[in-house]
Amino acid sequence: MSAAESLQNKIKELKEKSKAVILAHNYQLPEIQDIADYVGDSLGLSIEASKTKAKIIVFCGVDFMAETAAILCPDKTVLLPVKTASCPMANMINPEKLRKLKSDHPGTSVVCYVNSSAEIKAEADICCTSANAVNVVKSLSEKNIIFVPDKFLGSYVQSKLPDKHLILFDGYCPTHAKILVQHVQRAKKAYPQALLLIHPECRPEIVLLANAVLSTEGMLRFVKRSEEKEFIVGTENGIIYRMQKENPDKKFYPALNQALCPNMKLTTLEKILFSLEDLRTKINVPEPIRIKAKSSIDRMLAVGRQD
């Protein structure tokens, strides 16, 4: 038995004893995905967190994801195995910056990408994910809408809804921003038969080159349904493990080998085991913030997904 298998067995035993559930994002390491009860994108993970009957949620991802679970499940213990696993894009905006944006555009509704802190969600009117951002903005009656913090996702939504005017914040995902036109062109030249799948957190000029623009879960459904056999994947490369696992007869190529989120890779089997053993990595959201943030998340969940 390998060291990884031994750790996985210990985690399974402790998980059952503790009545815990392990949720993992599609960008997590392969061994983390393998130990999880559910692997998915931000929207799918939010839904799973909201309906789980487990007493403990071990969230393998970054801080805003675990916060979202804590907001939805105040009666449960939510653990983030590595409390320093953070999201650079989420950290680009803070409540003061958002309040300034709101004061500059009084009376304007705020759509907040779920990749943000609990405090930002509490300041927003409704959240969205990459899987339902277009539908969320479309659901609002007004023309002018503040969209934070991802300017690239916001510009994608704007391209789909020309009758709306999105006021964008200058935030972005550093990992997706690494993928440039020359990288995509190089991949397309190397794999001319492959379809190009792009995440809407990518730069607009990359989005224009895509055969399909999808959330991570949308990508997974797309490749499963497609009759094509080769795909260039324009997002964080962790998703390729699950793609290959679920579609062994197909081939997947990263748009950029360096498209790796260092924060998503901080979670290890050892950290999961330690968090279950001592429960020291609990995520807490102050109740006044939780209540306001939950309202924004609930409105998002009511919209559902689009891809």
State pLDDT tens for residues 259-287. Answer: 999 999 999 999 999 999 999 999 999 99
pTM tops 0.85, yes or no: yes
Q: Checking phi first, is residue 213 left (phi over 0); if not, alpha (psi -120 to 50) or beta?
A: beta
What pLDDT shows up at residue 144? 97
Q: What confidence tier does 301 reach under pLDDT thresholds 50, 70, 90?
A: confident
Q: What confidence tier does 305 reach under pLDDT thresholds 50, 70, 90?
A: low
Percent of the chain with pLDDT over 90: 90
Long-range contacts of 11-19 (CB under 8 A, 24+ apart): 11/35, 11/269, 11/272, 11/273, 11/276, 14/273, 14/276, 14/277, 15/58, 15/276, 18/55, 18/56, 18/276, 19/54, 19/55, 19/56
Residue 166 phi, psi (nearest 5): -95, 130
Residue 264 tokens, joined: 């998503």
State pLDDT tens for residues 25-49. Answer: 999 999 999 999 999 988 788 789 8
Rounded Cα distance, 239 and 197, in Å: 12
Q: What confidence tier does 4 reach under pLDDT thresholds 50, 70, 90?
A: confident
Q: Which domains does the chain have, with CATH numbers?
A: 3-87+264-288 (3.40.50.10800), 89-171 (3.40.50.10800), 175-254 (3.40.50.10800)
State pLDDT tens for residues 125-180. Answer: 999 999 999 999 999 999 999 999 999 999 999 999 999 999 999 999 999 999 99
Rounded Cα distance, 243 and 221, in Å: 9
pLDDT at 5 over 90: no
pLDDT at 76 over 70: yes
Residue 162 tokens, joined: 């020309």
Mean per-residue pLDDT over the chain, rounded: 95
Three-state secondary-structure class, residue 202:
coil
State pLDDT tens for residues 196-236. Answer: 999 999 999 999 999 999 999 999 999 999 999 999 999 99
Rounded Cα distance, 136 and 306, in Å: 9
Q: What confidence tier does 2 reach under pLDDT thresholds 50, 70, 90?
A: confident
Looking at the DSSP bridge assignments, the partners of residue 163 are none
